[in-house]
Structure 1
C-alpha cells in the first residue's frame, strides 16, 4: 500500500500540501530557503567570473555555464533529496517534497509585500511606505508620490503573479505528470532560472554578457505559463475578448516578452493604467503605458489584483490535482 501511495499518489499529495503550506505559513523568517542557496552560488560565481574574465565572449560562456549548471543542478538536487527521503520513509519524503515545493510558491509572500507597503501608505506615512517599497522593487523610491507607489505595488503584483506564483505551479504540475520526475525538480529548476534572471539578467555592465543566457532562458521558460495566466485571468474577468485584445495591443510595446502581458492583463481587468516614468539609480526609464486610466489605482484595486492572483492559482491547482487523480486512476 505504501509503495502504491509513493509511486502513484505522492505528486498530488505534495502539490496540495505545498499549496496549503504556502497559504498558511509562507516563508518563515530566518529559515534557510532554496533561493538563498541559489543566490549564494550566483553571487560568488558572478564575482569570480567578473574578476577572471574580461572579454565579452568569455563572460557569455561563463554565464551559459552558470545558467545551465544551476538550473539542472537545482532540479537534480531536489529530485535526489525527495528520493532519499522516500527511501528512508515514504512520509518523510512527502514532508520534504512539500517543504521544497512550497518554497517555490510566492503567493503568501507577494500579498505580504503588498500589505507591507500599503499599511503605512494608507496611514499617511509616505516616507515609511517609500522605504518599504525599496525592499521589493528595483526603481528609485525616495521621491515617489502616493500614486506612483500604488502603481509600483500593482505592477509588482501583476508581474510576480506569473513569475512567482503561476509559473512555478505550471512546472510543478508538468513534473507531477512525468513518471519518475515529480513536482519538486521542475519547480526548483524554474525557481533557479527566475533567481538567475533577477540577479544577473540585466543589460547593463557587468551583467550584459554574463547574464545574457539567464535573461533569455527565463523569458523562454515563462512564455507559456505567462500566456496561460493571461488567458485564465481573461476568462475570470468575464470579458475575455476585450482583455486579450488590450493585451495584444499594449504588451508588444514592452521590451519584456512576458511582464508586459501580465501587467496588461491586470490593467485591462482593473481598468487602470500601468507603466510610465521610472528612475533607476537616477537614470530615467520610460516604460510603455499599458491599459486605459478609466479608474485611479487605489488600495482597493490592489486588493482586487491579489484576489485575482489567488483565484488563478486555485484554478490551476484544481486542474493539476485532477490531472494527478486521472493519472493515478489509470495506473491502478
Structure 2
C-alpha cells in the first residue's frame, strides 16, 4: 500500500530500537577490551555527574530522591533516544555496539573471580581482602579464605545478572535507551540505594526502581543458570525452593540457582560497613571452598554467553516482527 508522502517521511526517521548486530558487536567488544577502569569511562562520568546532582538536591526526603532518580534516568534515556536517531543503519549499529560495550561488565566480572581464586590459591589473604571491594560492598577485614570464597561466589552469581543479563535484556527489548537507562538505574542503586542513615529515604526510589528493572532479568539469569550449569536438576530444585528466601526480591534467584548448580550452600552472616545482616541459607551442599571460585567464574561465562545469544535472537525476532507489521 502506498503511503502519503508525509507519512512515509515520518516513518523513515523512526528509530529502529532492535539491533541484533549491534548487540552482538558490543558483546564482542566486551570480550576483547573488557571494562576499562578509567576516569573517562561513561559509567564513571555518569557517577560523577550523579554525585554532583546529589550535592545540589540532597535532603532526608523520599521526594528529593525521586527527583534525583528522575533527572538521572530521564537524561540517560533521552540521550539514548537521540543517539539511536543518528541517520544511517551502519551508524545506528555502531552506536548500539558502543553502548552495549559501555554497559556490559561480564568479562571484567569473570576476571575478578579469577583474580580472587588466584590470590586465595596462593594463600595471599591480604591481596584477596584488598580485591573483594571490586566485587561487593562486604567488609573484607578479618574474613578468612572460606568467607572470602563465599563472598566471591555470591557476588559472581548476583552480578552475572546485574552486569550481563539485565543490560542485554533491556538492550534487546528497548535498544540504546534501554541499555543506558538500565546502567544508570543500577549505578544509582550502588551509589545511594543501600540502607544507611543518609540514604534510608533519599535512596529509596533508586533501590525500588532497581528492583523493578531487575525483576525479569534476575529470573532469566536463574533459568539460564539451570540450562548452562553442571547440574540442571539440582539448580532448578534450589531455584524453586530457595530463590525467594533472600531479602532482595531478585538476588536470591541468581544465588539459589548458582548454589544448586555448583552443589554448595550460600547465605549466612555478612557485614557491610559495620552493619551486620543475617541471611537465610540457599542450597544443600557444603560451604564454598576456594576451588569453587573458578567453577563459579566458568558458570558466569556460560550464562553470559547464553544471555548474549538469547538477546541477539530476541532483538532479531522483534525487529522482524516490527518490519512485517
In the superposition, the TM-score normalised over structure 2's length comes to 0.87
**Aligned pairs for 1:192-211 within 5 A:** 192-211=184-203
In the aligned structure 2, how far is the partner of 1:158 from the partner of 1:328? 31
**Aligned pairs for 1:28-39 within 5 A:** 28-30=36-38, 32-39=40-47
SS in 1 for 2:196: coil
In the aligned structure 1, how far is the partner of 2:277 from the partner of 2:150? 15
Corresponding residue for residue 284 of structure 1:
276
SS in 1 for 2:269: strand
Q: CA RMSD in A?
A: 2.5
Alignment gaps of 5+ in structure 2: 1-11
SS in 1 for 2:26: helix
Contact 1:231–1:240 (Cα < 8 Å) also in 2: no
Going from structure 1 to structure 2, the CA distance change for 1:282 and 1:7 (only over 3 Å counts) comes to closer
**Aligned pairs for 1:254-293 within 5 A:** 254-293=246-285
- After TM superposition, the structure 1 stretch with the greater mean CA deviation from structure 2, 237-246 or 59-68, is 237-246
Q: CA deviation at 1:158?
A: 0.5
In the aligned structure 1, how far is the partner of 2:173 from the partner of 2:193? 25
Superposed CA offset, 1:154-190 (max 9, x none): 1110010111110111111112xxxxxxx21101111
In the aligned structure 2, how far is the partner of 1:145 from the partner of 1:285? 18
SS in 1 for 2:271: strand
Superposed CA offset, 1:258-280 (max 9, x none): 11111111011111111112222
Alignment gaps of 5+ in structure 1: 176-182
Going from structure 1 to structure 2, the CA distance change for 1:274 and 1:9 (only over 3 Å counts) comes to closer
Contact 2:18–2:316 (Cα < 8 Å) also in 1: no
- After TM superposition, the structure 1 stretch with the greater mean CA deviation from structure 2, 89-98 or 257-266, is 89-98
2:292 to 296, 301, 309: 301
Q: CA deviation at 1:242?
A: 4.1
2:68 to 66, 69, 72: 66
- After TM superposition, the structure 1 stretch with the greater mean CA deviation from structure 2, 21-30 or 31-40, is 31-40
Q: CA deviation at 1:68?
A: 1.9
Q: CA deviation at 1:236?
A: 3.0
Going from structure 1 to structure 2, the CA distance change for 1:119 and 1:245 (only over 3 Å counts) comes to closer
1:45 to 40, 53, 61: 53
- After TM superposition, the structure 1 stretch with the greater mean CA deviation from structure 2, 185-194 or 235-244, is 235-244
Aligned residues: 312
